[in-house]
Structure 1
Amino acid sequence: MSISSWSRQRLSRFLQKLPQLPPLRKMDDDAKKMKNHLRGLFFLLLLLMSHNAYAEADGPDYWRVHGVDGGDVLNIRREANGTSEKIGEIPPDAQCIKNLNCIGGLTLNEFTTLSEAQKEKVKKERPRWCQIEFQGVTGWVDGRYLREGSCTNN
């Protein structure tokens, strides 16, 4: 389909009535300024996001007890092993257990690449122990019995 000369004339008149755009050179300078501002904002956001990633790299801020029977307790130990001196207890429904550090367990690479049988073997060879604080007692607990929790009593 071709455009008739009458249509071309109307289009030409319409385009002449449009407001004039700023010179291309000016737009290039403004575009460069905008690009630099956006680049700075991007790096600022990246910096802020990387700080949050680092802050959460060691696990959650608080734990809750998981998998301990109703009549039992989770033992707090002086050292990160099951034969260490018991220095406290945590009820089976406890929340607000402050996470200080965890050792052992699976690495991210092991978690994502090993089979379930291989994962179980590593967990037995290198069990996860977490250093916690609960109601003024600081010690170590078996990481198998912890899940991410929360605390509203900060």
Structure 2
Amino acid sequence: MLRLALALALLLLASPAFATQDRWPALFDVSGVAADDVLNIRAEPNAGAEKIGDFAPDARSIEVIAPNERQDWGLVNVDGRTGWVSLHYMVRQPGQWLGAPIETVQCAGTEPFWSLTRRGGTVTWSTPEAETSGTVTTPLDTIARRDMSGVIYRLESDTRDHLVMTLERCSDGMSDYAYGIRAILTRDLDGAPEMFGGCCSLDVD
């Protein structure tokens, strides 16, 4: 009986019905803004703060890094800095609950400079010297850590690499942008293992 109860508990933990907690960062679309108006981006999460930019009334796939404490404003990156938009005029795109796989992401790091873009089953690895593509071979998921996921992928150069992503605040060390995904990436080229660290964004366009 104990084994059955434990199995049911694990099943619930792994199911989308249990994992209804929202994941951050997440992609949002602007909603409820008049066609001749814009959604203001503020320096602070209040309507009286300095305006530092805006989104068009039909803007889509805006990455919101995290909400404020009241969850009525969302942190975004714009024009080299971070700002805040009212979540009253934003609609979260579906399928972004905590534990759901991240299918589209762009990661980058420094020392040395590198970037990796994943769109579904396709991966592109870039450095200042070269660029190569590949395919995802295996997803990496864990029930115990729904804030952590990753993939194993193989590039045209025949490396078998790993990308592990953790949902936590991250800085690229070069800009004032905020990121909500930290990345650890390993490569093994010709028997010479390497490990890279960096940040990821859901906005790859």
Q: TM-score range by the shorter chain?
A: 0.3 to 0.5
Whose strand fraction is larger, Structure 1's or Structure 2's? Answer: 2
Q: TM-score, normalised by structure 1?
A: 0.48
Q: TM-score, normalised by structure 2?
A: 0.37
The structure with the larger Rg is 1
Higher relative contact order (CA 8 A, sep 6+): 1
